[in-house]
Structure 1
Amino acid sequence: MLRRTLLKIGAALPFRGTTATESAARAGTRPDSQNLNGWPDEAAWKSLRAEVGDRLSAVVALDFTDPHVAKQLSSPFFIRDQAALTQSSGWIDGWQSTPGACAVRARSASDVAATIRFASQHNVRLVIKGGGHSYLGGSNAAGSLLLWTRDMNDIVLHDRFIPAGTHAAPVPAVSLGSGCIWLDAYNAVTTGAGRYVQGGGCTTVGVAGFVQGGGFGSFSKQYGTGAGSLLEAEIVTADSRIRTVNAAQDSDLFQALKGGGGGTFGVVTRLTLQTHDLPATFGLVHWQIRARSDQSFHRLLTAFVDVCAGHLFSRHWGEQARAGSDNRLEIFMTLQGLDTQTARSCWHDLENFVSGNMQDYEIEAPFALTVLPARRLWDGNWLRRHNPSLIMTDTRPGSSPDHWWWAGNTEEAGTFWHGYQSMWLPASLLDRQQRAAFTEAWFASTRHWPVSLHFNKGLAGGSDDAILRSRDTVMNPDALGAFALAIIAGEGKPAYTGLSEKDLIKARSVQEKIQQASARLRQIAPVAGSYISESDYHLTDWQQACWGTHYEQLLQVKHRYDPKGLFTVHHGVGT
């Protein structure tokens, strides 16, 4: 019997995460498979099965002692295919990835509506998962009913899309089911059709959570955020109504989906995003330098910041530079719309500085510039022929040959977060009179923990179009005036089975160092906001930090469309 199976699984769950208990915020204590008072009986589950069929099933925990399972945990595609797993395995003193009780693997908006009706009627903790990349654990809760949009992955290209009920001018667009991942979207839009859609960097990131979280990609300075490209969405709200929302229909809800946080206002089942002209080129720069002393490292950071202000502060450049406590500067930046000669000229000043002071530096990875046809950046076959070391392929039997991930993202599969802090750094810090203070703060913070500057996640210096579209979202306006998002993060090996006392001690030590590094950097940006999708689980002023002046507006939308608080996530509006 399904009920017995669910009870057996629920009784075996070893841990009830923080995210599972937060549902009491506005809706009162909810039953789950461990708190059987009020848990739906067998007749109730049969009624749900009558509506969704075999899409309803028990969630079976994996056997991590099985060598085959253990080997597959390094693959984000394997993790993606498991109802019991999430792409991060937890956060110290926050949450731990734990299988829910049962799942509906939805194939349609009707399946979603039926599941929402059931959860609302029986006051069951409902969790929504698309790509499963939530750092804060939004797609996971013990003893819950999982609404999994994994199979809702249709992709439709439009030459001339007009949102329903509007008189807007038609634009090229793509409609994506909420179970789509960005690699599939790029394969259709860029590799296949020769256009660009603003998406995420990791290939297995889900499109729905990305857009609702704001959504920065490598080329956001040119194209804006993913939220800024949203034209229309299909969403099922807490009343189980299937709505098509845009600037003319339920416009307040539509606006909330443009960066207001995933899993908060309803279950998005389809998004339609504007597509853009593809530039001639995309490219990558990699360079790793180690300074032989603290003083020479400080000078290196000074020279790099000067180059940022003079040559890299533009719509053409994105991604990051990481300065470490070991006096290493690792540069991994992307470019768009530049030829090889022009791109190389942007780095001449820094190359001259390093080559003129070689007694102070060790080149651990030589300067490498790769410029490729933009249409080939997500073309797995082309990458395997020209630069196979960049990617890892899903080699499981029956897997699509089009499914791969960036080799540099492998360590993120199943990672357990020790700490993760972010802050938008205002562009004024690049002014000549403020650069020295900024460089000193960056250097000082690295004495505690490495600090990365993600230039594509600050929109200052970007195109006018990117700024305009991103301003029409509900993200913290600090992003518009920032030249970069500083990220200070630390993680450990997967912890699906828990942590030892030794691991806990190490994690809390890392957490403390991250806090110290963040505090030092915040001395030059004391009121800087934070990016909701990449922020601190323990952030106290998260409403202001993540949404700024938009929070009260979002709270009103939450009360209107989800008055009983059916949808709850950590650091979610109204939670």
Structure 2
Amino acid sequence: MFRSKMVIIFPLILQLPQLISAAQSKPPICRASLGSSGWPSLSEWAALNVSVSGRLLQPAPPGAVCHPGQPTYNAIECPVVLNAWYGIDFHAGNPISSVWDNWNNDSCLPTLPSPCSGEGYPVYVINATCKEDVKAGIDFATKHNVRLNVKSTGHDLLGRSTSPNSLSIWTHHLKEISISKSFKPKGCDFTIDVPAITAGSGSQMGDLNLAASKENLYVISGGAESVSYGGYLTGGGHAALASTFGMAADSVLEFEIVSPTGEFLTLNECQNQDLFWATRGGGGSTFGVITSATTRAWPAFNFLIATGSVGTLPGNPSFYPAMSYFLSQFPLLSSLGITSYNSFTGNTSNFGGFEGNFMLPVTSPQNTSASLTAAVEAIFTNISSTYPGQFEFSLSNVTTYQTFYDWWLPNNGPENAGVELLLGSRLIGADALHNTDAVETFLKGVLPSDVDGLSVELYLLGGKGIADAVPRGGSDAVNPAWRKAIVHAVTSTSWTPLDNAAKSKAIPYLTDVTLQYFRNLDPDSGAYINEADPYEPNWQQTFWGSNYERLLQIKRRVDPEDVFWCYPCVGSEGWEVVGDRVCRT
């Protein structure tokens, strides 16, 4: 069976950074590339293979099995790959494959007719099964000036987990998981008296949630089982219950990493404190390779959920003010402990409205089925009385799940893949949501009434748990905008594979038009780095806010040679993409 995660090939498509000016007087200094004089010899690659016990791979593009001119062409295997291509498992289980085709620049799709080459993929991959394998890869890339890539599942919406002309470290099989009733950080003279789960960085949300549930515990969890732990934590990690327990990064107790200089380091509040701070929210593929992470867990609890929807007929002018009022009540819902994953659809030729799941953990006597129903129905009642007969409402009976996992397992996802996809997002605070005029302008901009098929996801995920979180050591590098956020607003764009004309229109429209409405709604906020537009202007401020200066200082100190480079990542300003190489500016 094919197993999979998301790999993302960044340099070929992201020509958005800065191009080298023709006015520069001397040529750029670039990482070695395949075929160049600086590229390691076959004997040097063979020696690396010996040092990692034969786990150095040189994979062919996964879609090549469908191309008769390719060495790996296989007429029997091709239909199997075609069938698996649109699910994440196939890509996650392949050492170089991308979940979203655009991140390897469509360089070898299994669908015909299409070109096929390995130019969009890493050249070599270390299938890391221990920290020594990771160190061998870092040391080799440093010695030979080879671009270094890190992939676990490849579930990366910004294209940071794949790159051409690179040596990739594949951490997918670092999956050992253990659970303890308390945890003593290494080098500390105290024990943290909470349940803790220690997991290899390649562990996925499905693995973690299953292991925790067997011990009647809950961990801060991403919404899809394919998400890997390491990359999730480095971006901060939002979750359905973050408004109660904080971001996933806030719950980290300790990391084990391999540093840019090849050292095995333990990061916690007692040692390597700066790196401990930076790695919790400072972004992946930047400060080293995480090999394991330890986070706190909570006793399992009942979980309440009700599905709600609001609909209206096409052309109803009340759609925008009604939905603006609805969103203005999100801070109130958040204060009651309620979260929700929501989709708002434009008032187009079919209908306009909202649908979502309202969720409430039973963590106090006040959290009951009645309290959840009453809070949502009060909003529906207000809209109904303000706009009589114009909207239809539905709120299902509240379902009680014995644990969060019981609900999460059949409902996590989506797990689609094999398409062209680019996301954009913004964190929206309570003040912005209370400004109904501004919210109405926002909705009219992102869901214009004359365009069919548009929707925007407005996830009610922020609130008290994130605002009041006290991570170990007092703070972490999670974007400060999260501490004021109530809503994580997400939109996306896509285009037909290999349609460069459509792509050249879709990407700037998302960045410069659609997302500008997001920015205008809460100009002083930011975005969630793990689900964002890599073309975001002023990305340093948008993704890290006031934390960026300290993050950059730490990056310069621990990785002065930029052994780890990705875009848009902390410290990436000193390099740029030139063709399929990265070069110093």
Q: Structure 2 length as normaliser, TM-score?
A: 0.81
Paired position in structure 2 for 1:188: 211
1:349 alignment partner, SS class: helix
Paired position in structure 1 for 2:525: 528
Contact 1:20 1:142 in 2 (8 A): no
CA distance in 1, matches of 2:471, 2:263: 32
Residues 1:360 and 2:378 are matched in the alignment: no
CA distance 1:20–1:230, shift in 2 (3 Å): farther
Structure 1 residues 300-339: aligned runs within 5 Å = 300-324=322-346, 326=348, 327-337=352-362, 338-339=367-368
Contact 1:220 1:318 in 2 (8 A): no
Contact 2:428 2:487 in 1 (8 A): yes
CA distance 1:101–1:451, shift in 2 (3 Å): same
2:159 alignment partner, SS class: coil
Paired position in structure 2 for 1:67: 79
2:535 alignment partner, SS class: coil
Paired position in structure 2 for 1:258: 280
Measured against aligned partners, the alpha-carbon deviations of 1:245-297 in whole angstroms (never above 9, x if no partner) come to 11111111111101000010111101011112322224352425244334121
CA distance in 1, matches of 2:19, 2:518: 36
Paired position in structure 2 for 1:455: 460
1:289 alignment partner, SS class: strand
Structure 1 residues 151-162: aligned runs within 5 Å = 151-162=173-184
CA distance 1:297–1:263, shift in 2 (3 Å): same
Residues 1:563 and 2:568 are matched in the alignment: no
Contact 1:420 1:514 in 2 (8 A): no
Contact 1:314 1:461 in 2 (8 A): no
Greater CA drift, 106-115 or 69-78: 69-78
CA distance 1:328–1:491, shift in 2 (3 Å): farther
Contact 2:224 2:415 in 1 (8 A): no
2:420 alignment partner, SS class: strand
Paired position in structure 1 for 2:128: 106
CA distance in 1, matches of 2:464, 2:312: 29
Q: Look up the equivalent residue of 1:260 and give its one-letter code.
A: G
Paired position in structure 2 for 1:17: 12
Greater CA drift, 193-202 or 285-294: 285-294
Paired position in structure 2 for 1:80: 92
2:534 alignment partner, SS class: coil
Contact 1:200 1:217 in 2 (8 A): yes
Q: CA deviation at 1:113?
A: 0.7
CA distance in 2, matches of 1:529, 1:475: 11
Structure 1 residues 527-546: aligned runs within 5 Å = 527-546=524-543
| Unmatched segments (≥5 aa) in structure 2 | 1-8, 21-27, 67-77, 109-118, 573-585
CA distance in 1, matches of 2:514, 2:93: 37
2:488 to 482, 485, 488: 485
1:103 alignment partner, SS class: strand
Q: CA deviation at 1:306?
A: 4.6
Measured against aligned partners, the alpha-carbon deviations of 1:411-456 in whole angstroms (never above 9, x if no partner) come to 3x23322x4322221212344xx33433343344321753322221
CA distance in 1, matches of 2:521, 2:290: 39
Greater CA drift, 50-59 or 460-469: 460-469
1:161 alignment partner, SS class: coil
Paired position in structure 1 for 2:570: 573
Paired position in structure 2 for 1:31: 32
CA distance in 1, matches of 2:311, 2:241: 25
Q: CA deviation at 1:197?
A: 1.1
Structure 1 residues 437-452: aligned runs within 5 Å = 437-447=438-448, 450-452=455-457
The sequence identity of aligned pairs, in percent, is 26
CA distance in 2, matches of 1:227, 1:254: 10
CA distance 1:471–1:165, shift in 2 (3 Å): closer
Measured against aligned partners, the alpha-carbon deviations of 1:27-54 in whole angstroms (never above 9, x if no partner) come to 9311122x43211112211211121122
Q: CA deviation at 1:534?
A: 1.5
Structure 1 residues 235-246: aligned runs within 5 Å = 235-246=257-268
Residues 1:505 and 2:517 are matched in the alignment: no
Q: CA deviation at 1:227?
A: 0.9
Q: Which has the higher helix share?
A: 1
CA distance 1:72–1:51, shift in 2 (3 Å): same
CA distance 1:21–1:60, shift in 2 (3 Å): farther
Q: Look up the equivalent residue of 2:547 and give its one-letter code.
A: H
Residues 1:222 and 2:241 are matched in the alignment: no
CA distance 1:549–1:379, shift in 2 (3 Å): closer
CA distance 1:181–1:174, shift in 2 (3 Å): same
1:517 to 503, 507, 514: 514
Paired position in structure 2 for 1:340: 369
Q: Look up the equivalent residue of 1:329 and give its one-letter code.
A: F
Paired position in structure 1 for 2:23: none
Paired position in structure 1 for 2:198: 175
Aligned length: 523
Q: Look up the equivalent residue of 1:32 and give its one-letter code.
A: S
CA distance in 1, matches of 2:18, 2:196: 36
2:209 alignment partner, SS class: helix
2:95 alignment partner, SS class: coil
Q: Look up the equivalent residue of 2:80 and give its one-letter code.
A: H
Q: Look up the equivalent residue of 1:209 and give its one-letter code.
A: G
| Unmatched segments (≥5 aa) in structure 1 | 1-13, 384-389, 391-404
CA distance in 2, matches of 1:306, 1:573: 34
Paired position in structure 2 for 1:10: none
Contact 1:321 1:333 in 2 (8 A): no
Q: Structure 1 length as normaliser, TM-score?
A: 0.83
Measured against aligned partners, the alpha-carbon deviations of 1:489-543 in whole angstroms (never above 9, x if no partner) come to 22346x4xxx134xx4266247516642332343332232111111211112111
Measured against aligned partners, the alpha-carbon deviations of 1:315-336 in whole angstroms (never above 9, x if no partner) come to 3324334243532322234332
CA distance in 1, matches of 2:51, 2:57: 13
CA distance 1:93–1:359, shift in 2 (3 Å): farther
Greater CA drift, 341-350 or 367-376: 367-376
Measured against aligned partners, the alpha-carbon deviations of 1:295-323 in whole angstroms (never above 9, x if no partner) come to 12124304413542443444332433424
Q: Look up the equivalent residue of 2:354 and give its one-letter code.
A: L
Paired position in structure 1 for 2:44: 44
CA distance in 1, matches of 2:262, 2:214: 36
CA distance in 1, matches of 2:166, 2:505: 28
